[in-house]
Amino acid sequence: MNPKAERLATYVREIRGSQSQRQFAKRLGVSQSSVNLWESGQSWPETENLEKLAAFKGWSLQDFQTYLIEGKLPSSDPLDQVLRILRSLPTEAVAKVATEAVETLAARTGSML
């Protein structure tokens, strides 16, 4: 098994924990055979399922893919995670985040910025 498939298999077993493959598959919305194939390194999840798997640890799809390909764990610092996501957003979304940040700061300081 290649390192990427090994990391996926280990990750799936870890987040599945004591649940059976059937229980975990139902929770994820996939077949039991999909979980079995991922854990044995014989198949690779679709992007939608990679996103679901990443969400179990609060990772973005990009963080999860970096982990699978390079073996680098994402930072557990929430600020690092927010900044990494912010950098990947389209301009309109960044503007909304900036507006919300200014409004939040104004509310916390009791003044209008």
Same domain for 39 and 85, yes or no, is no
The answer to whether residue 112 scores a pLDDT higher than 70 is no
Same domain for 13 and 64, yes or no, is yes
Say how far apart CA 35 and CA 98 lie, in whole Å: 40
Question: 2-34 pLDDT, tens per residue?
Answer: 999 999 999 999 999 999 999 999 999 999 999
Same domain for 64 and 84, yes or no, is no
Same domain for 13 and 52, yes or no, is yes
| Domain count along the chain | 2
Contacting residues for 59 by C-beta, under 8 A, at least 6 apart: 67, 74
The answer to whether residue 87 scores a pLDDT higher than 90 is no
Same domain for 35 and 60, yes or no, is yes
pTM: 0.67
Q: Is 54 exposed, middle or buried (0-12, 13-18, 19+ CB in 10 A)?
A: buried
CA count, 13 A, side-chain hemisphere, 55:
8
Element (H, E) at 99: helix 91-109
Same domain for 38 and 90, yes or no, is no
Per-state percent for the chain, helix, strand, coil, to nearest 5: 70, 0, 30
Which pLDDT score, from 0 to 100, does residue 9 have? 97
Same domain for 66 and 82, yes or no, is no
Q: Which domain holds residue 28?
A: 3-70
More confidently predicted of 76 and 49: 49
Same domain for 36 and 90, yes or no, is no
Same domain for 38 and 89, yes or no, is no
Element (H, E) at 2: none
Res. 111 pLDDT band, cuts 50 70 90: low
Same domain for 32 and 82, yes or no, is no
More confidently predicted of 75 and 108: 108
The answer to whether residue 81 scores a pLDDT higher than 80 is no
Res. 113 pLDDT band, cuts 50 70 90: low
Mean pLDDT of the chain: 89
